[in-house]
Amino acid sequence: MLENVHYRTFSVICTVNGGGFMDRRQRKTRKAIFDAFTKLLEDKTYSNITVQEIIDEADISRSTFYSHFETKDDLLRALCTEIFDHVFSDNISKETSHDFSCGDNDLKEEITHILYHLEDNRRYIGRILSCESGDMFMNYFKEYLEKIFSDELKKIPTDIPIDYLLNHMICDFAETVRWWMKNDTYTPEDVSRFFFSTTPFA
């Protein structure tokens, strides 16, 4: 389940389908849906999970589920947003598996920090990436990566178009993560080293 995702920021900004901000009960219900969904992902692929199974696992009514999410894809989208909002947060704090709160917060540390979060949630991210849901996950992931790489690339003297380099870096790192999810013998530091040894940032 979402052991390493922090809900304290999510509770402030999240809204339900109707558009209003959620109260404590609604946030609790939404967390129960997330937990049920990620638990199911530990044993089944995304395509084989039904909305009814999520409802049963979360112990809620069908109407309650649909008051939060219109479809299973909508649920996956919200889950990705929740994961990435935390992973890519500007406020880096000490975590159970890692601590980058006292570092220089340079690009290599940011990338390694991201890899640690993905490692922490490998159980279900691997499941998401293993079927048709993987493209949706990657599309959201790339949107967040663009924010990180775009500023850094502006600092590199080059005659190569920045938009080409940006696309290259985003796709390279995203596919590195996809490969890593299938090759779990490497640490986040290993993968970070692999990535930076083959980029313009090296």
Alpha-carbon span 66 to 87, nearest angstrom: 27
Q: What is the pLDDT of residues 75-133, one digit of tens each?
A: 999 988 888 887 777 665 555 554 555 555 688 888 998 999 899 888 778 888 887 78
Q: Give 15's strand partners.
A: 21
What angle, 0 to 180 degrees and rounded to 10, lies between the N-to-C axes of helices 133-153 and 107-120? 160
139 or 151: whose pLDDT is higher? 139
What angle, 0 to 180 degrees and rounded to 10, lies between the N-to-C axes of helices 122-129 and 162-182? 110
Alpha-carbon span 32 to 80, nearest angstrom: 16
Q: What is the pLDDT of residues 40-61, one digit of tens each?
A: 988 888 889 999 999 999 999 9
